[in-house]
Structure 1
Amino acid sequence: MPGSKATFTIILGILFGFTVTHYLTAFKSLPTPITCGTEEQLVGSEDFDIISSRADADVFTRSQSLPGHRRGLILVAIMTAAKYVDTRAYNVWKTWAQHIPGKVLIFVAEGTESIHEDMPLIRLKGVDDTYPPQKKSFAMVKWLAENMADEYDWFLRADDDLYIRGEELAAFLRSVDSSKAHIIGQAGLGNSAEYGLLALGSTDNYCMGGPGIVMSRETLLKVSPHLESCLQHMLTSHEDVELGRCIRKHVGVACTWNYEMQKLFHNNQSAIKESYAKNMKELKDAITLHPIKDPAVMRKVHLRNREIKLREERAKRSLLSAELSTAKAQTLVRMTPNRTIDLTPWDYINNNKILFCTDRVNCPRHTVDLSIRTEMADTITQLFDEFNTNARQRGRVLQFQSLQYGYMRVEPTKGVDYVLDMLLWFKKFRPPNRTTISVRRHAYVQQTFGKLRSLAEGVFRSNMRANSTLIEDPTLHMIMPLRGRAAIFARFAQHLKSICARGGDDLAVSLTIVLYSSDDEMENRETIEMLRASSIPVSVIEMGDVAFSRGVALMRGAETLPANALLFFTDVDMLFTCDALKRIKSNTILNAQIYFPIVFSEFSHESWSENDKLLADAFHYGRGRGYFRHFGYGLAAMYKADLMDIGGFDTKIEGWGKEDVDLFEKAIKNGRLRVIRSPEPGLVHIYHPIHCDENMPTAQKDMCHGSKAASLASIDTLVEQIAQYT
């Protein structure tokens, strides 16, 4: 049978040649990635370097590692599109990417440009932003295999809406053998509409791309030669499904089935647009969070994560200090009062999360503040972490069920105390004694204040200012809308003149008046000239005879000033002290902090007692004279750059009110800037009758009537009036 053997050999040779030719052709057709440089630099025939045009860029090489070369832990590859490169991707680069124990690269389509030169962009040649991005995803994985496989043990494929906790990721990966083939993430089989339609076998799955896909170096190297073939033979439009199918077929591993991966690689499918904007309870146990579409939320989540890390480090320090300390055991009796008035009362929290104040008349029962809820949740989490430190070794675990009730108090010189009555699940999971029992326990918790650090504010300021090229203007620029009210404006001007006269060299003030036409306009102009004659810089913006809008007026005033100007939005009814203006300056930080002072608002003088009327000075405080307006946001201090960053005032609002609340809500939602609220004894709003236009929108009208009612008289005075007629 020699002839048959020869024929078989010829046929085998033809098939082999055809296979090799087809493979080489497919390999050449895969898009060639290029870096963020404007020119491709190819050196040599086999081993070549691709170098970024940035002066400080790293060199990526296909050459083999040098003997003794030690690979890094993790390379994170972020896939983004041109429309998100300067928003989502840049916020990723400036937040969690700075804390990854390895390298972060951002992959974009060919020709994508960015205004941020510091981002490490890798442009994929021949790839566009077509969605779904199968071609971009496969080209990125192949680029990693060809250029970075010898540099890192692990590779994480991520999207621009993913948050990664770098320290937790590192701890997790160091517990896994990187020399074996692994693909790690949250396993998926498709949503309810797609289940059974993704051509997955009975034992197949895929790692969902949203929460991130982690591949070991071994997996990356084994799948790389087959990516072109997998790209040409896709069964669905989902790139994560197809990548998982390719790895399953050619590497022989599937995504981790472990149930715990749902917590570690967390994917919120309930409300994508609002994911993690308000509730971040998953952050404590997660390695990744997905999706975070809003850059402001990304910054907020990052800030929360750094707070958790700071809290953990402080707890470690406290434990170490306790081991070294010879102090007595802690007790809830941390101070011995000499008088009844010195006793610190406890506030009560019921199981419906309603707080009952014990020592404040003007504090009705109300829903527990978000700050207290957050602190209590963190405290309970920390408690159970300590309870369960060695739980698995003992075969039992405690789980929080619910809070029955609690007490809390703040010792001003000591810290915060809690007494919590909790329902717990006590679980034994080691056979044959498996059981679950509901138990009730008390927890006595103390949060002790740390030591004062005198340089903390200076360090905070310097760190935040380092991110900006702007230099703070030392002048406090007061912006005030004005229409009529000549006598009140004359009082304001005379007060400002006296304050500036004794303010000293460290208090520089200017006044910008946004002037509307009125019957007593000439009197206002005479007052303006008086201010100018006293060497106070005054500028006037003419609005003419148009409908009054405080939001429009304040924005017009701000527009005339530079980006580094410190703005203080005020009203003509305000009086202030020199110290108050200095505190406004110190509490406002460029690119970091906005200040909404809580002003003291006078009641109608008709409701004052005779003793109150004898005090001519406005800067006297008492329950009969007025109240601190905790829900008033009309006075605010911020730098113009920060005002523009949060979106400025709503210029569509006409008439009285609401524009200040809108600005405050924007500042809170911004996430990047810290908002400070504090009672300011040096700011007093002089009482004047309030007129509410009944033609205003309902929301504004309700706010106006509420403010009018609150400013009439104190609760004590109203009670006395009622008593007289009953």
Structure 2
Amino acid sequence: MPRRGLPLQGRVRWLFLGLFLLLVLLLFAYLLECTPPGDVSMVPPGPAGETYGKEYYQALLQEQEERHLNRAASLKRQIAQLKQELQEVSEKLKILQEKKELPGVQGLAETKDQEPGDLLEYLHSQIDKAEVNTGARLPSEYALVPFESFTSSKVYQLEMGLTRHPEEKPVRKDRRDELVEVIEAALDIINNPDEEDGVEDDMPMQRQMYTEGHFTEGLYRTERDKGTLYELFFAKEDASSFRHVTLFRPFGPLMKVRSTSVETSGLIINIIVPLAGRVETFLQFLHNFREVCIQQDRRIHLTVVYFGQEGLQEVKLSLEKMSSEESFSNYTLIPVDEEFSRGRGLDIGAHAWNKGNVLMFFCDVDIHFTLEFLNTCRLHTSPNKKVFYPVVFSLYNPAIVYGNLELAPPVELQLIHKKDAGFWRDFGFGMTCQYRSDFLNIGGFDLEVKGWGVEDVHLYRKYLRSDLIVIRTPVSGLFHLWHEKQCADELTPEQYRMCIQSKAMNEASHSHLGMLVFREEIEAHLRKQAFKTQSKTEE
């Protein structure tokens, strides 16, 4: 038995060894079949692998080199462009600095040729933003920036505080230089007109040259985000033909906006006065009207709208007397048997005119005006374009200003712009110059308003919210004469508040009111000083 087992075990071992060798051979054959030749990965595909590989890499290198060269050329172009832009900006700043240092006329003359195009476009865009050619719609009366008016020697200003005065000489050198520069620039424009100015090209010997003596008045205002707008007027010898020059300084050199001729010889002003009672005050008004409108201007129509019957006959007789003495018939008296309403009276007066469009001046009976104001009224209004809201200089109570009413001088001598004599009535909007067509188109007054105030503010707000330009500026030739105010109990709370405010501000200046408040203290001090003086004398 043992001998038979040995051959069987040997066969099994040889069988396993054979299977193992067979598996090794199969694995080796598989590896040989799947593994590529050793130099295939080093040569690109193709029949001539080694030669094609060099051209391929040369092409790649050339492409990269061209890409870098193009990038370098692009950067060089950008650098050159930036250098050019930097040079242009430097030239602009240099030009602006030179214009700032040069006198006004030279700077204005060089603007056309030296200013770069984009800068000029920016400056003109500032003109478009400012209220030069059309009005801006404003939310309320507080949003309007008023003008300040000036002559060759005086400035009439609203913002006074406690130290400045309503009428001042331009004390600061920069203010003087600014106004002189503006006047000189305007004179240069008028005396050397362009074709666009619409002035006939007369011979130099025939053309009338303008000087500073022809300058009549000017307005200016500064808006912080735009610049300063100037309106200047020059009068010819006949005083009815004016040259109007508009200049604008958009926080840079002066720029000419336009230069036009303004003819006022045929412009009639219809002065409309609503009235109820106050006959003595009306007689004083007629005295001023006769001297200014009839004896000097003679281009005026007077419309008086009288409410009620009391005093109507006296008013009628006074108008007839003036008419016969002055040969003046351009007036209309309209009796109205209604309760007094200022807005209603002005509305009746405006609708009563039946001779086409006319320039109207809404006036109160306690207003004193000059010939210069009538010209200002004509110059600052234009149908379908501009309305004029002058700021009146309101005189204080003469009994306080002069210590006693009996010591007060005549009215003509009280018409001065002094801080203790009066103030600019910048919260009043009742006095206005506007064309009849604009008044009707805007809708006129709110006729539901009765009594004092408010109706003029409503009309003013209508114009602010329209496309018309509202000119608001203090006027040296327009005065509100003091009279005692009565605030009726029938007024609404808003009307009564405005009436009391007007009454308080109408009495006296800050210093004079202070003297009244501390009068007892002052008198006590004077008594003590008198007692000390007397005691020293007795010793």
Task: With the length of structure 2 as denominator, give the TM-score of the two structures.
Answer: 0.50
More relative contact order, 1 or 2 (CA 8 Å, 6+ apart)? 2
Task: Tell me which protein shows more strand as a share of its residues.
Answer: 1
Q: Where is the helix percentage greater, Structure 1 or Structure 2?
A: 2
Greater Rg by CA:
2
